[in-house]
Structures are given as C-alpha cells and as structure tokens.
A and B are shown apart, each in its own frame.
Chain A
C-alpha cells in the first residue's frame, strides 16, 4: 500500500496548548494536503503544500514538508476545544497521476 501514516494515532492536550501531528509517506509526491474530519462527517480541506515548498501558514496552522525524509508535520497553535477532530494527510503522488492516498489519521482531543 502507498498509504501515508500519521503519528501519533491519538493526541490529547489542554486548550491553549499547541498540537503537532506528523505524516510520513512512501513515494515522490506532487503535493501534500491536510484535512480535518469531525466524527463521521465529511472531510474539510485545511491546507495544501507543494513539493517545492518547505513551509506554509494559514491562520493557526503551520505545515512543514521535508521531501528528503518523506514527511510532513501539522502544527495547530493555541488549540481550542473546537479543534477536536481527526486530522488526515493526503498525498498526490507523481507516479500515479491524479490518484490520492490518505493516511490513517490522528485523533486530536482538546480538553477545555
């Protein structure tokens, strides 16, 4: 399988703390995206980083990409209870055209 993997599988933090989750993948990519899913609902796109970018910011989100290590991290700063959700990385890989591979997700719980 070419699926990515998120680490940790589950994360529990206090409101106001920062949350960091990591994603590793296996092959060369065009881009890497992060999505959020509230329990059982559809995924919502958060941010996309291209293979020639190393860091990207969007509001309280910071994404880094290290193509040499085939890994990415998502940092959520000053977390809120409303950030409680599952977070997935998805890769668009260069050898499979427009096919996408999602990781297994990190379940984040932010305690008020």
Chain B
C-alpha cells in the first residue's frame, strides 16, 4: 500500500531534550516536506527536499533540522525543543512537488 508513515504518532517531552520524528514513504517520490499545524494558523512549511542531499527552508525553519540521506526517509530533528514547538506535525511526499501525500501526523507536546 502506498503510504507515508511517521513515528512516533504522539510524543510528550521536556524542554531541551533532543528528539527526532521519522518520516518514510514507499512511493519513490522525489519531493518530501514537513509542516506544522497550529490552531488558526493552518499548515506552515518547515523544510522541504527536492531530492537526496537537497534540502531547503520553508516558512518556519527556526529550531528544526532535517536530513535527506535516502530517498525514502526525511527525518525532522529538534535539537533543543521548546514549548512553542508544541504542535501537530505532518510529513508529506510527492513525485514532483505537486499533489502531496500526507502522513497521519505526529502530535508533539513540549513541557
């Protein structure tokens, strides 16, 4: 089944404790992206990647890192999480950056 998977689905952590949210797709898509969704603000793009070893900043990249060492994986790294990064995070992939397929979301709470 074609899908985008994210792990973990739910995470509660404390300020400053490094964490990684994994994202994987099995559709051989070139384009992958991370978004955060906050009430009243819609989805905002954090980082995106057009291909392996190519990443670019989105609208709200501060406090986040990404890497694209393999085509199928695009992990989101929070080196020192803060409470303002409490949000619902979505990973998405697409063949050429058009129709995007979204993962199920990761609900992160930073205390």
Do A99 and B59 have beta carbons less than 8 Å apart?
yes
Interface of B is mostly: strand
Is A31 engaged at the interface, CB distance under 8 Å to the other chain?
yes
Q: Is the CB of A102 within 8 A of B43?
A: yes
Within 8 A of B (CB), among A27-42: 31, 33, 35, 40-42
Task: Identify which of B4, B56, B101 contacts A99 (C-beta below 8 A).
Answer: B56
**Size class of B's contact patch?**
20 to 34
Number of A-B contacts (CB under 8 A): 68
Size range of the chain A interface in the assembly:
20 to 34
Q: Give the contacting residue for A1; candidates B4, B50, B59, B92; CB below 8 A.
A: B59
> CB-nearest residue of chain B relative to A47?
B99
Do A45 and B59 touch (CB < 8 A)? Answer: no
Q: Quick check: B41 and A104 within 8 Å, CB to CB? A: yes
